[in-house]
Amino acid sequence: MGKKQRAAAAAAPAPGPEEAESSTAPAAEPRLPVEVIYCGVCGWPLEYCEFGSTFTRCKEWLGAEHSELFDKYYSEDALAAKLGTISLEAQSKLEEDTAKKEAKAEARAEAELKKKMESQVVIKRVERTKRKHVTVISGLDKFGIDLKKAAKQFASKFATGASVSKVTAGATDDEIVVQGDVCYEILEMIEDGVGILKGVPADNVEIVEDKKKKGGN
Ligand SMILES: [Zn+2]
């Protein structure tokens, strides 16, 4: 992973103040592990934000979360230093391309969001026997969630069985079946955006009860 290594080198912290007073300290101070900061918007190391389609939002995020890093990357000095290495023409072409890419991505994101907001996740408590329940989750796939991975996450979180089951052969509306009644725990996981569930809007989640009919046994 050459990209990551390069990012790591660029993000190396400045030497700490304790290195100045070296009367008792050993000659070679152990270096702290280098921490790479990944962009909270596009997920790439900060050097790569400008190549993505969310550059404007990436910059806003960095300014809000790490203002000192924002200055390092996007202050006038930093930009001037960078400009020195490419021509003005190339720079304006780059900006134009970025604007186009962003407009496209924005339109796409908007359409996707609209579709998502119309989708619904249903968490259903199903009574199998008097004391045994399963929890059936449907609709997560509409939010781009990999159901197999989600089932795995539920299985390890609740130390129970969880699987993906097809509602109808060939259909896309598969469900996840988790052993036990974990309706509210799963709702909470969605609210907290745990792991793979990140991005599923909790407002679109509904919990329903599927009681065994009386005399069903
Ligand atoms: Zn970014």
Could you report the per-residue pLDDT of 151-162, keeping only the tens digit for each? Answer: 999 999 999 999
More confident residue, 45 or 112: 45
**Dihedral angle computed from the Cα positions of residues 88, 89, 93 and 94, in that order, rounded to the nearest 10 degrees:** -30
pLDDT of residue 44: 92
What's the CA gap between 176 and 170, in Å, rounded?
Answer: 16
Averaged over 127-139, what is the pLDDT? 88
Cα of 35 vs centre of ligand 1, distance in Å, is 17
pLDDT-derived band at 31, boundaries 50, 70, 90: low
Cα of 92 vs centre of ligand 1, distance in Å, is 20
Model confidence pLDDT, tens digit, residues 153-209: 999 999 999 999 877 655 556 899 999 999 999 999 999 999 999 989 888 898 888
Summary mean pLDDT of the chain = 80
More confident residue, 33 or 213: 33
Say which residue the tokens 């997920």 belong to.
43
Give the number of other Cβ atoms within 10 Å of residue 42's Cβ: 19
Cα of 46 vs centre of ligand 1, distance in Å, is 6
More confident residue, 64 or 22: 64
Take residue 83 and report the two structure tokens written for it: 């400009």
Cα of 11 vs centre of ligand 1, distance in Å, is 15
Cα of 41 vs centre of ligand 1, distance in Å, is 5
Cα of 50 vs centre of ligand 1, distance in Å, is 7
Take residue 213 and report the two structure tokens written for it: 């009919």
Opening angle at CA 169, ends 163 and 171, nearest 5: 85
What's the CA gap between 105 and 93, in Å, rounded?
Answer: 18
Cα of 64 vs centre of ligand 1, distance in Å, is 13
* pTM (two decimals): 0.46
